[in-house]
Structure 1
Amino acid sequence: MSAPVPPRDGAPAALAWLVHPVTLAGLALLLINDHVLKAAFPGPATGKLSDVAGLVLAPPLVAALITLAAPRLPDRTVVAVGFGLVGVGFTAVKSHAYPAELASAAWTAVAGPSLVRTDPTDLLTLPALLLSWWGWTRARRAPLRYRSARLVRLLVVLPTAMFAVAATSAVHYPYALAAAVVDGRPAVATGGGFAGNWPQEPSQWAWSVSDDGAAGWREPAEAERRQLHERRDEPRRMGCVPDVPARCYRVVVGHLRVEESDDAGRTWRMAWEISDAQRETLARRYPDPGDVGKHFSSRQLAVAAGADGGHLVVVANGRDGYLVRRADGRWERIGFPSSEGFAGPFRDGPPTLGEVAPEQRQTDALLAAALALTLGFLVLVAAAHAALRRLGRGAGWGLAGLVAMLPVVLLLATGWSRSDDFGTVLAVGVVAALGALAAFVPLVVTWHRGAQDGWSGAVFRAFLLTVALVGVPAAGWVLGTPPRTWMTVLLAVVATVPGLVLVRRAARLVQPSDPRGTADPPYPALASYD
Structure 2
Amino acid sequence: MISGRLPRLPERWRVVAVVPLAGFAVAATAAAEPPSVADSVQVEGDQIVVLIAGRDQGSTTGISSVDGGVTWSDYYGRPVRPPQTAACVPGQPQRCYRVLPGRPAVAESDDGGKTWRPSWSLSDDQYDRLARRYDPSSTAGPRSLALAVQARPGGHVVVVANGLDGVLVRDVAGTWRREGWPEPLAFVGDETANLDPEQRVALVLAALMLLGAVGTGMRRFGGVYAASALVVCVGLYVALGADGDPAALATGMTLLGAMVCLAVAIAGLASGVAVAVGFGAAPLVYAAVYVPFYGWVHGMPGSYAMAVGAAVVMTAGVVAASGALIKRDIHHRTATYGPA
TM-score clears 0.5:
yes
Residues 1:445 and 1:494: Cα distance change in structure 2 (over 3 Å) = farther
Tell me, yes or no, if the aligned pair for 2:232 and 2:254 is still in contact at 8 Å.
no
CA distance in structure 2 between the partners assigned to 1:495 and 1:241 by the alignment: 52
Is the 8 Å Cα contact of residues 148 and 160 (structure 2) preserved in structure 1? Answer: yes
Residues 193 and 295 (structure 1), Cα distance of their counterparts in 2 relative to 1, 3 Å cut: farther
1:316 is aligned, of 138, 149, 161, to: 161
Within 5 Å, give how 1:110-509 maps onto structure 2: 173-181=35-43, 186-193=48-55, 206=61, 213=68, 219=76, 225=80, 228=81, 231=82, 236-253=84-101, 255-278=103-126, 289-291=133-135, 295-304=141-150, 306=151, 308=153, 310-334=155-179, 339=184, 344-346=185-187, 372-383=202-213, 391=221, 393-394=223-224, 395-410=226-241, 442-460=261-279, 462-463=281-282, 466-467=285-286, 469-470=288-289, 473-474=292-293, 476-477=295-296, 480-485=299-304, 487-489=306-308, 491-493=310-312, 495-498=314-317, 506=326
Rounded to whole Å, the distance in 1 between the matches of 2:175 and 2:299 is: 26
SS in 1 for 2:230: helix
Q: 1:221-250, CA deviations, whole angstroms, 9 ceiling, x for partnerless residues?
A: 8xx73xx1xx35xxx333222433332212
Structure with bigger gyration radius? 1
| Post-superposition CA distance 1:201-240 (Å, at most 9, x none) | xxx993677676556675458xx73xx1xx35xxx33322
Write out per-residue CA displacement over residues 303-352 of structure 1, whole angstroms, 9 at most, x where no aligned residue.
Answer: 34x2658433220012332223344535455556884xxxx4449xx79x
Cα-to-partner distance string for 1:411-437 (whole Å, 9 max, x where unaligned) = 6xx9xxxxxxxxxxxxxxxxxxx9899
Which amino acid in structure 1 is aligned with residue 265 of structure 2? T
Contact 1:372 1:470 (8 Å CA) reproduced: yes
Find the aligned partners of 2:157 and 2:268 in 1 and give their Cα distance.
75
Distance 1:320 1:452 in 2: 53
Deviation at 1:404, TM superposition (A): 1.8
Name the structure where helix makes up a greater proportion of residues.
1
Judging changes above 3 Å, is the alpha-carbon distance between structure 1 residues 389 and 180 closer, same or farther for their aligned structure 2 residues?
A: farther
SS at match of 2:54: strand
Instruction: Tell me the secondary structure at the aligned position of residue 397 of structure 1.
Output: helix
If each structure's strand is expressed as a fraction of its own residues, which one has the higher value?
2
Amino acid at match of 2:207: F
- Alignment partners' CA distance in 1, 2:135 and 2:168: 20
Report the alpha carbon displacement of residue 376 of structure 1 after superposing the two structures with TM: 1.6
Residues 1:266 and 1:387: Cα distance change in structure 2 (over 3 Å): farther
- The 1:455–1:444 alpha-carbon spacing in structure 2 relative to 1, beyond 3 Å, is farther
Partner AA of 2:93 in structure 1: P
- Give 1:262 deviation, angstroms: 1.8
Shift of 1:177: 0.8
- Shift of the alpha carbon at 1:462? 4.4
- Separation in 2, partners of 1:264, 1:392: 75
RMSD: 5.3
The percentage of aligned residue pairs carrying the same residue is 33
Tell me the SS of whatever aligns to 1:178: strand
Q: Distance in 2 between matches of 1:441 and 1:482?
A: 41
Looking at both structures, which has the greater relative contact order when contacts are Cα pairs under 8 Å and sequence separation is at least 6? 2
Is the Cα–Cα contact under 8 Å of residues 377 and 435 in structure 1 kept in the other structure?
A: no
Name the aligned partner's letter for residue 210 of structure 2.
Answer: L
Alignment deviations for residues 336-371 of structure 1 (CA, whole Å, 9 cap, x no partner): 6884xxxx4449xx79xxxxxxxx97997x998876
SS of the counterpart of 1:496?
helix
User: Would the aligned equivalents of 1:181 and 1:187 in 2 still touch at CA under 8 Å?
Assistant: yes
- Structure 2: tracts of 5 or more residues without a match: 1-31, 244-252, 334-340
Deviates more, 1:252-261 or 1:502-511: 502-511
Q: Decide whether aligned partners of structure 1 residues 315 and 211 sit closer, same or farther in structure 2, where only a CA change above 3 A counts.
A: same
Contact 1:382 1:402 in 2 (8 A): no
User: Is the contact between residue 198 and residue 293 of structure 2 (CA under 8 Å) also seen in structure 1?
Assistant: yes
Q: Runs of 5+ in structure 1 lacking a partner?
A: 1-169, 195-203, 352-359, 415-433, 512-530
Aligned-partner residue type, residue 221 of structure 2: L
Describe the shift of the 1:219–1:337 C-alpha distance in structure 2 as closer, same or farther (beyond 3 A).
farther
Paired with 2:287 and 2:146, the residues of 1 have a C-alpha distance of: 45
CA contact (8 A) 1:302 1:314 kept: yes
Closer/same/farther in 2, CA of residues 410 and 386 from structure 1, 3 Å limit: farther
